[in-house]
Chain A
Amino acid sequence: MIHAEDVFRVFQEHRGDAIVIPTGTSGRRWGEFSNNENRDLNLGGAMGQTTSAALGLALGLPDEKVVLFDSEGALLMNMGILATIAGKKPENFCHILLDNECYATTGGQPVPNAQEINYAGVAKESGYSSAYSFDDLEEFATNVEEIMQATGPVFVAIKVVPQIENEPIGMRVRPPTRSRAETIRDLQSELGISAD
């Protein structure tokens, strides 16, 4: 397993101008590594539907690279989205799954069939252009540039160390982050999209 922070550190060097959508417990650390905040986007959440929103963004901005950091708990709630994405074939879409095998935010209970499911296999057979699996940082570092240059939709499954939270929700300390509305406003301003 790889620490999500190491994934982000390696990825950042190859990001280019990509729009990045971090989600899930692991995704909370992305802000520490991003060097282009105006292209970091919070699309909110609704039982796994951030993946769908990321697809909509990629379809609406075909000239922009869109990278989603997804989580396996969210993807399991909405696995049909893999077929939806593959059906529309967004060439600019890179779907990176940070798989910690558990619901980290509720105490670390395992997701169904946590250790045996092959997410990259499911994505590839759903029709993604290419799919990768990594549980070694060096292998990911060796392949990340190829991944970023590949024609999408590309799927990347990475086993990451869970960052389990057990404190009551009200006692958890979160670093200050921009709201969804603020990230949308900043991205639209960056891309010259009218907010009206």
Chain B
Amino acid sequence: MVTQQAAVLSPEAMVEEFQKNGVTHVVTIPDSETNYLYELMKEQPWLDVVPASREGETFAIALGLLVAGQTPVVLIQNTGMMESGDSIRGMVLDAGFPLVMVVGYRGWNRHGVITDSAARYTEPFLNAFRINYYLVEQDADSTRISTAFEEARATKRPVAILVGDEYHGFNR
């Protein structure tokens, strides 16, 4: 029997977690389903949204912000994360700074049959880079975002938040 995702992750919950964890900048490339989150982020006076042209840029921009004493997060899709492999290596893992990367899990579903290769390779990619990750599907999961921040700070490594069902709640 197919189990469908009953609840969603609201953009308000995500932004609240960002504020709670002292985020100063969101370095991002929005995809077609994150427009509502983008608008909400732009409305926050404490948050600077940095739009990038290619996902590999986002990790390097984040490094510069970290050196400057800021607290950025990277917000991209899993496809762009895979494009960013060398940037993750050279600008995050080798640099030794804490960074939370919020990654839209395109193609992920609860059905157990993944037809989108973007989803099929997402977790193997993170495992290859030895980056720990947490799945967040709905508001009740949002405390895992704070867990990721705590882990990133403790380890001075990147930690990923995989947002299941492609930010469905933002698309309203």
A193 contacts across to B, CB distance below 8 A: 67-69
A interface majority secondary structure: helix
CA distance A166 to B48 in the complex (A): 45
CA distance A84 to B65 in the complex (A): 15
With beta carbons under 8 angstroms apart, the residue of A43, A78, A181, A188 that contacts B64 is A43
Interface centre among A54, A58, A84, A184 (most CB of B within 10 A): A84
Question: Which of B1-9, B10-18, B83-91, B104-112 participates in binding chain A?
Answer: B83-91
For residue B56, CB closer than 8 A to chain A, the reply is yes
- Distance in angstroms from A100 CB to nearest chain B CB is 22
A50 contacts across to B, CB distance below 8 A: 60
Q: Taking CB as reference atom, which chain B residue is nearest A62?
A: B68
Q: Is B86 a contact of A59 with CB atoms below 8 Å?
A: no
Q: Taking CB as reference atom, which chain B residue is nearest A82?
A: B53
For residue A110, CB closer than 8 A to chain B, the reply is no
CA distance A92 to B140 in the complex (A): 42
Contacts A46-B86, A47-B56, A60-B69 given; does A181 touch B96 at CB 8 Å: yes
A55 contacts across to B, CB distance below 8 A: 61, 64
CA distance A109 to B44 in the complex (A): 48
For residue B100, CB closer than 8 A to chain A, the reply is no
For residue A164, CB closer than 8 A to chain B, the reply is no
For residue A83, CB closer than 8 A to chain B, the reply is yes
CA distance A43 to B162 in the complex (A): 28
A194 contacts across to B, CB distance below 8 A: 69
With beta carbons under 8 angstroms apart, the residue of A60, A78, A83 that contacts B56 is A78
Query: Shortest 9 CB-CB distances between A and B: which pairs?
Result: A56-B64, A60-B68, A80-B53, A46-B90, A52-B60, A57-B64, A49-B60, A56-B61, A193-B69
Using a CB–CB cutoff of 8 Å, the interface residues on chain B facing chain A are: 25, 27, 48, 50-54, 56-70, 72, 86-87, 89-91, 94-96
What are 15 contact pairs spanning A and B, CB under 8 A?
A41-B67, A46-B91, A49-B57, A49-B60, A53-B63, A53-B64, A56-B50, A56-B65, A59-B50, A60-B65, A60-B67, A60-B70, A61-B68, A80-B53, A81-B54
